[in-house]
Amino acid sequence: MTQEPRRSPERGQTERPAPVRERSFPLIALLQLATFLAAVVSCIDGPELARVLAKARGEPLLLVIAPLGACLALGLLGAVIGLGQLRRWRSALVGGGVGGAYGLAMLAVYVAPASLERAVAAAAVLVLTTIAIRIRAA
């Protein structure tokens, strides 16, 4: 898609619009993603999750359908979000994978939530790291 040059009324000269440069994914966003995943995982009560899984061994269909559904639902959401990025197919693939991983994590949080204190601490860490990243970027 070619844009036509514009005329500057002040100078009478032709200005070409700056080409859109493709930017790479910032490393700081990966740090934020890892921090968010750590916060979500810290909201899981491990012993309770083990008890729920042991109890559900009698229902193998549930053990397959629930994680698969969570992976597919959030994986599809991540893929759709990835399609809106510059490198759409690669971003859709990565977004789908990350969404699937979050689907499993969120299912585990739903099945075996940790105490409120751990959830508040995880949220506080996430907020503080976001503020620190924003201060550094400014």
Residue 24 CA to residue 131 CA, distance in Å, equals: 22
Higher pLDDT, 128 or 4: 128
pLDDT exceeds 80 at position 101: yes
Over residues 57-70, mean pLDDT: 90
pLDDT exceeds 90 at position 19: no
DSSP letter, residue 42:
T
Q: What is the pLDDT confidence band of residue 75, given thresholds at 50, 70 and 90?
A: very high
Tell me the whole-structure pTM to 2 decimals.
0.69
**73-107 burial, b for 16+ CB within 10 Å, e for fewer?**
ebbebbbeebeeeeeeeebbebbbebbbbbbbbbb
Position 138 scores a pLDDT of: 64
Query: Do 37 and 44 form a contact (C-beta atoms < 8 A)?
Result: no
Return the domain boundaries, the chain.
38-133
Residue 80 CA to residue 23 CA, distance in Å, equals: 20
Tokens of 15: 């200005």
pLDDT exceeds 60 at position 123: yes
Residue 23 CA to residue 2 CA, distance in Å, equals: 20
Determine how many CB atoms are found less than 10 A away from the CB of residue 122: 19
Higher pLDDT, 100 or 13: 100
**Share of residues in the chain with pLDDT > 90 (%):** 44
